[in-house]
Amino acid sequence: METAQALARLADYFETMTPESVSRIGDYYAADARFKDPFNDVRGVPAIGQVFHHMFGQVGQPRFIVTDRIGGEGGEGSEGSAVLLWQFHFNARFGLRERQQRIQGASHLRFDGAGLVVLHRDYWDAAEELYGKLPLLGSLMRALARKLAA
């Protein structure tokens, strides 16, 4: 499978992911694939599936919106590399209130010749996108950012 086709297929999977569809993650990831983000570094389909099951259990109404696809070169029988740019929308409870949140990030992906992900590395700024939105910690982080800004 060509990398561009595998990338489009994976992007569609993420945009339509549900708690039930996590069980099909092996249709998109190689058996020994590696997944890394700011909180996880796991290998293998069961562990990667657990990361997404955990996501559905921890936040309300999670959904991914793919905003851009970059790369996708590589042909039949070759390993291809690509990047997905995305927004992750979810509801999170802070104190007594639940608020809608959005995280912007990028996923570096490497596909094998069969179009399965062998490497998935997420890049996003946890300090800005998550910690900075927490009531007490956020004000401290903003004060620190002002102090360090040129």
Q: What's the pLDDT tens digit per position in 107-120? A: 999 999 999 999 99
CB-based contacts of 50, cutoff 8 Å, min separation 6? 42
User: Domain residues of the chain, as ranges?
Assistant: 3-124
Mean pLDDT along residues 19-37: 97
Residue 65, token pair as written in the block: 């919106």
Tell me what percent of the residues of the chain surpass a pLDDT of 70.
77
User: If you search the block for the tokens 């991914």, which residue do you land on?
Assistant: 64
CA-CA-CA-CA torsion sign (60, 23, 88, 36)? positive
- Say if residues 85 and 14 touch (Cβ distance below 8 Å): no
**pLDDT number for residue 77:** 41
Residue 33's nearest CA partner among 133, 112, 96, 142 is 112
Residue 72 pLDDT: 66
What order of strands is seen across the sheet that includes strand 29-36?
41-43, 29-36, 117-123, 97-111, 80-94, 60-71
Q: How far apart are CA 141 and CA 70, in angstroms?
A: 32
Domain 3-124 in CATH 3.10.450.50:
yes
What confidence tens digit (pLDDT) does each residue in 80-107 have?
Answer: 899 999 999 999 876 677 788 898 999 9
Can you tell me the mean pLDDT for 60-78?
A: 78
**pLDDT at residue 126 tops 80:** no
pTM: 0.81
Q: What is the structure's pLDDT at 109?
A: 97
Residue type, 47: A
Handedness of CA 45, 90, 10, 110 (dihedral sign): negative
- 2 or 86, which is more confident? 86
